[in-house]
Amino acid sequence: MNKVAIVGAGIAGIATAVRLAIKGYKVDVFEKNSYPGGKLSAFEKDGFRFDAGPSLFTMPHFVTELFEKAGENPQDYFQYSKKEIACQYFWQDGTRFTAYSDRDRFLDEVETVFGESSERVKKYLQRAKKKYDLTAPLFLNQSLHKTKTFFSLDTLKALLQLPIYELEKTLHSANSKAFSSPHLIQLFDRYATYNGSNPYKTSGMMTLIQHLEGNYGTYIPHGGMISITNALVQLAERNGVTFHYEKIVEELYVKHNRVTSIKVNKKEIPYSLVISNMDIYYTFSKLLPTQKRPEKILRQERSSAAVIFYWGISHSFQELDLHNIFFSKDYKKEFDAIFNLKTIDEDPTIYINITSKDVPEDAPEASENWFVMINTPADFGQNWEEEISRLRKIVIKKLSMQLNIDVASLIKCEDVLTPPMIQTKTTSYLGALYGASSNKAMAAFLRHSNFSKQLKNLYFCGGSVHPGGGIPLCLLSAKIVDDLIPEFSP
């Protein structure tokens, strides 16, 4: 039997379905929602279109290689453009910084705005690249949990360079040692949020994230982020994958150390392989209630969550671009609130994504679709109704002051996403966006494996397992699962 069941149509589940269908398997994807994509979904309201979740697109080759693997030309089905400006940054003292995608322009801007030597920044980025080059073959491109991974030339090279990883330092201390400008330090500290972590706790290893964005650039898919989901679902369907929406997988049935079948709507369906794209916490607590739980992994500190306001704005801001950051005055206090006090600071950093800058049809004429995101703690029982009311006032006041306009009067339509809603919609434990945080030196290396050691035909993909959260890593988790499963031989 070559039947495969994938639990969850998140981006990793879709990508895994594509890969296994190409290998000759008959793939069924079961999704509890009425739509695919998980967090990478979209909705429309009052003439505005909003991407609901992830808004940063980098390393597009992880998407296009799926089309190539299927023998198709990616450009026939999926188009995207590189951004000239990666992000616009704003500080409350009036400092503004344009992060250009072009390296030379970026370095010139660093010297002009922050007074930092471009040579120091070059050396910093070179070290970040070296970290990536040494660890990617070992950490990102294959399973960390197979013995053979550790008996390779790549592993030897990585072990001989341990000091360069700065594991003994926090990201903030590594950045503070490299630079003198508080603004530039805060800008580079921000990259901890790319995996939902605290720059004052996560290790200096995380400087490699700057290399990924700086080296590969940032992109905008034509049609917005949802076009990634749509293009890959259509690719999967062209290769014979069947998607079953509004179908909840209730349990995985186990016999003789194998998953023999799945329970859907009280019906048992046999499968030869099962891949869970569900959060690893719920995979064990809901789907495998009789199996031994990896308690140490499941108890790991949760990543940050988020509150997102979706605002239809009746104005066009020339000073804003696709990605925009309005920093807090006290970054450490902000992260102490998130991870220690489990609350939202009264001066949070605000991220605004505006796809209508590049996709005009996403908003009416002379208007913009604002995706306004604030990092928050996961859901530990806070009064989110009160928090949202308080936070909305804070965000509007802060943006109104920095943009010199009454933002509240420009909001023509509104929706909101909270950590409890994230948990309900995407089955992300406690609403944490990236599963476990990477706030300990080795946490990023200690995620759950992409396969079960107890159940021989059960595999895992998605942001809650190795190698981590975010679109590129989710797509890599699909690749790792693909490498673990042999081609089907009738």
How much is the pLDDT for 352? Answer: 98
Torsions phi, psi for 310 (to 5 deg): -105, 110
pLDDT given for residue 489 in this prediction = 65
State pLDDT tens for residues 124-160. 999 988 888 877 766 666 655 554 544 455 555 555 5
What would the pLDDT profile of 281-334 be if each residue is shown by its tens digit?
999 999 999 999 999 989 999 999 999 999 999 999 999 999 999 999 999 999
* pLDDT value at 446 more than 80: no
* CA pair distance 86, 201, nearest whole angstrom: 26
30, β-bridge pairs: 7, 244
| Mean pLDDT value across residues 99-128 | 95
Q: Which two tokens stand for residue 179?
A: 């630079």
Q: Structure tokens of 469? A: 């959260």
Q: Which residue type occupies 122?
A: K
pLDDT at 466 over 80: yes
pLDDT in tens, 423-439: 999 999 999 999 999 89
- Backbone dihedral angles phi then psi of residue 98, each to the nearest 5 degrees: -100, 115
pTM (two decimals): 0.94
**Longest distance between any two alpha carbons in the chain, whole Å:** 67
Which helix (H) or strand (E) is 192 found in, with range? none
Burial (CB count within 10 angstroms: exposed 0-12, middle 13-18, buried 19+), residue 272: middle
User: With contact defined as beta carbons under 8 Å apart, do 67 and 305 qualify?
Assistant: no
What's residue 347's pLDDT? 98
The residue with tokens 């409350």 is 92
Q: What is the pLDDT of residues 389-407, one digit of tens each?
A: 999 999 999 999 999 999 9
Gyration radius of the chain over CA positions: 22
Say how many C-beta atoms besides its own lie within 10 A of residue 316's C-beta: 14
Q: Cis check for the bond before 163: say yes or no (omega within 30 of 0).
A: no
pLDDT given for residue 465 in this prediction = 95
Q: Who's near 105: CB < 8 A, 6+ residues apart?
A: none
Confidence label for 463 from pLDDT (cuts 50, 70 and 90): very high
In three-state secondary structure terms, 342 is coil
Residues ≥6 apart with Cβ < 8 Å to 208: 128, 129, 131, 132, 135
Cα-based distances in Å from 206 to 170, 202, 203:
9, 7, 6
**Beta-bridge mates of residue 312:** 369, 413
Fold of 3-81+223-301+437-484: FAD/NAD(P)-binding domain (3.50.50)
Tokens of 166: 């700065």
Measured CA to CA, the distance from residue 187 to residue 19 in angstroms comes to 37
Of residues 219, 305, 224, 232, the one with CA closest to residue 50: 224
Helices (H), 341-436: 384-403, 419-426
pLDDT for residue 168 is more than 70: yes
Q: Do 376 and 278 form a contact (C-beta atoms < 8 A)?
A: no
Mean pLDDT throughout 25-53? 97
**Residue 36, helix vs strand vs coil:** coil
pLDDT of the residue at 205: 83
